[in-house]
Amino acid sequence: MKNKIAGFSLAEVLLVIIILGVVASETIPVLVTNFQNKTLRTAWKKQYTVLAQAHKLLMLSYDSTNMSNLPICVTSSCMAQAYIHRSGLKIYRDCGYTNDAQASGCLSDKWYGYEGNVIDDIAGFTSGGIILWFMDGSTINVSGYNEACNDISLGAGMPFCARLIVDVNGPKAPNKLGLDIYFIFVTKDGIKPSGSTDWLGTVSPCSTVDDGGYANGYACSAEVLKGSVE
Question: Rounded to the nearest 10 degrees, what angle do helices 76-86 and 10-61 cross at?
Answer: 100
Q: Which residues pair with 162 in a beta bridge?
A: 186
* Distance separating alpha carbons of residues 141 and 7, to the nearest angstrom: 65
- In tens digits, the chain (230 residues) has pLDDT values of 444 445 667 777 787 787 777 776 667 666 767 889 899 999 999 999 999 998 888 888 877 776 766 666 666 777 787 888 778 888 899 888 877 777 678 888 888 888 888 877 676 666 678 889 999 999 999 887 777 788 777 656 678 888 899 999 999 999 999 999 999 988 888 898 988 866 654 556 677 665 555 567 887 898 899 887 76
pLDDT given at position 4? 46
The pTM of this model reads 0.81
* Distance separating alpha carbons of residues 222 and 224, to the nearest angstrom: 6
* Distance separating alpha carbons of residues 52 and 69, to the nearest angstrom: 18
Q: In one letter, which amino acid is 195?
A: G
DSSP output for the chain: ----PPPPPHHHHHHHHHHHHHHHHHHHHHHHHHHHHHHHHHHHHHHHHHHHHHHHHHHHHTT-S-GGG----SSHHHHHHHHHHHS---EEEEEEEHHHHHHTTSS-S-EE-TTS-EES-THHHHTT-EEEEETTS-EEEEE---TTS-B--TTBSS-BSEEEEEETTTT-TT-BBTTTEEEEEEETTEEEETTSTTBTTTTS---SS--SSTTTTTTHHHHHHHTS--
